Amino acid sequence: MRAPGHGDSIAEVIANTVAGRITYMMSPIEFALAGIRAGKLVALGVTTKKRSSLLPEVPTIAEAGVAGYDFPIWYGVWVAAGTPDAVVDKLAKDIASVLATPELRDWSAKHGADPMSLTQPEFASFVVSESERAARIMKSAGLTPQ
Domains: count for the chain: 1
pLDDT digits (tens, 9 = 90+) for 16-56: 999 999 888 888 888 999 999 999 999 999 999 999 989 99
Note the pLDDT of residue 46.
93
Residue 7 domain-assigned?
no
Helix (H) or strand (E) holding 97: helix 85-99
First to last CA, the chain: 5
Residue 31 domain-assigned?
no
Q: Are 35 and 44 in contact (CB under 8 A)?
A: no
Report the distance separating Cα 66 and Cα 12, nearest Å.
28
pLDDT digits (tens, 9 = 90+) for 45-89: 999 999 998 999 999 999 999 888 888 888 888 999 999 999 999
Q: How many residues does the structure list for the chain? A: 146
Residue 55 domain-assigned?
no
Residue 114 domain-assigned?
yes
Residue 86 domain-assigned?
yes
Residue 82 domain-assigned?
yes
The whole-model pTM stands at 0.69
Report the distance separating Cα 27 and Cα 34, nearest Å.
13
Residue 50 domain-assigned?
no
Residue 91 domain-assigned?
yes
Tell me the C-alpha to C-alpha distance, in Å, between residue 93 and each of 33, 35, 74, 122, 132: 33, 38, 19, 14, 28
The whole domain housing 133 covers 74-146
Residues β-bridged to residue 60: 46
